[in-house]
Amino acid sequence: MASIGRVVVLLGAPGAGKGTQAQVLSGRLGLAHVATGDLFRAAVRDETPLGLTAKGFMDRGELVPDAVTIEMLLERLAKPDAAAGILLDGFPRNTAQAEVLDTALEEKGGRVDVAPYIEVPEADLVARLGGRWICRAAGHPYHELTKKPIKPGICDVDGSELYQRDDDKPATVQARLRQQLGALATVVDYYRGRGVLRAVDGRGEIDRVTADLLDAIVPATSSKA
Ligand code: AP5
Ligand code: MG
């Protein structure tokens, strides 16, 4: 049976900065960045059966059904790079997903070591999502005011084109927040109950939030590093 290293679950509302922070943290900590939203967007782009199923839910700002999401996540965890440890971004989104994750990790002799929760007020989330651009190749996030690319319209990391996500239209942003914040609260409670939740103020500069996240993650995982 394959084993697994450190497991970090990055929690936060839509637009809280999970993708922004995961990009930096996964590199610093040597963890595979596993983002279910990115996996779904790749499937939509490639017009796979999974993508065709997911698209309607994503466009309505709803969660994709658990059966589909969980199967996709478990397939991703079986890939070789996950063995060194994973940084989850966007999974779990409800307690059923959290329970499946616990069982899957247990089978590999692992567990969720820490669940940092990036807290951002709702008004800031709307502003962040409205001004966001991401890259075609890997979903690296930018913002037209707070994180501009060096060259307009081009990703600093991989040179691919930047575009605005369909679900960042104002009506869909409102739907995502309305439909998903309740489920997020149940996941926060789930990890608080297991003693691994670490709340981090997500309102500061991106680098400041990264430093606070590292302060939360490193002590909780250092014995496994
Ligand atoms: P997903 O892609 O996971 O979207 P999300 O959770 O809504 O989160 P976002 O990616 O929108 O925000 P983020 O927290 O990554 O913020 P970012 O770093 O980009 O999911 C999309 C959809 O897929 C879901 O709606 C659902 O349909 C489906 N799905 C995915 N996972 C699922 C699951 N497990 N179960 C069921 N369905 C699932 O930052 C946002 C912006 O803010 C950027 O412009 C950034 O530059 C800026 N920013 C970041 N940090 C700061 C800062 N400190 N100060 C100022 N600006 C900042
Ligand atoms: Mg994201």
Tokens of 223: 């014995």
For 36, phi then psi, to 5°, come to -65, -35
Rounded distance from Cα 21 to ligand 1 centre (Å): 11
The per-residue pLDDT for 27 is 96
114 strand-pairing partners? 8
The answer to whether 22 touches 35, Cβ cutoff 8 Å, is: yes
Length of the chain: 225
> What's this model's pTM, rounded to 2 decimal places?
0.96
The per-residue pLDDT for 224 is 63
Spatial separation of the C-alpha atoms in residues 7 and 82, rounded to whole Å: 9
Q: Which of 18, 76, 128, 198 is catalytic?
A: 18
Return the DSSP state at 203.
S
Spatial separation of the C-alpha atoms in residues 138 and 200, rounded to whole Å: 26
For ligand 1, whether the C-beta of 206 sits within 6 Å is yes
For ligand 1, whether the C-beta of 19 sits within 6 Å is yes
The per-residue pLDDT for 36 is 98
34-73 burial, b for 16+ CB within 10 Å, e for fewer? bbbbbbbbebbeeeeebbebbbebbeebebbeeebbbebb
User: Which regions of the chain does DSSP assign to beta strands (E)?
Assistant: 6-12, 32-35, 85-89, 115-119, 132-135, 141-143, 162-163, 197-201
Low pLDDT (below 70) residues in the chain: 1, 224-225
For 113, phi then psi, to 5°, come to -80, -40
Tokens of 174: 């409102």
Rounded distance from Cα 29 to ligand 2 centre (Å): 19
The answer to whether 168 touches 132, Cβ cutoff 8 Å, is: yes
Task: Examine the residue annotation and report whether 178 is marked as an active-site residue of this protein.
Answer: no
The answer to whether 180 touches 14, Cβ cutoff 8 Å, is: yes
Rounded distance from Cα 17 to ligand 1 centre (Å): 6
Spatial separation of the C-alpha atoms in residues 116 and 100, rounded to whole Å: 19
Q: Which ligand is nearest to the CA of 94?
A: 1
The per-residue pLDDT for 4 is 86
Rounded distance from Cα 92 to ligand 2 centre (Å): 13
> Order of strands across the sheet with 85-89?
32-35, 85-89, 6-12, 115-119, 197-201
For ligand 1, whether the C-beta of 17 sits within 6 Å is yes
Task: Examine the residue annotation and report whether 176 is marked as an active-site residue of this protein.
Answer: yes
Task: Examine the residue annotation and report whether 208 is marked as an active-site residue of this protein.
Answer: no
Task: Examine the residue annotation and report whether 108 is marked as an active-site residue of this protein.
Answer: no
For ligand 1, whether the C-beta of 190 sits within 6 Å is no
For ligand 1, whether the C-beta of 139 sits within 6 Å is no
The per-residue pLDDT for 162 is 97
Spatial separation of the C-alpha atoms in residues 88 and 92, rounded to whole Å: 8
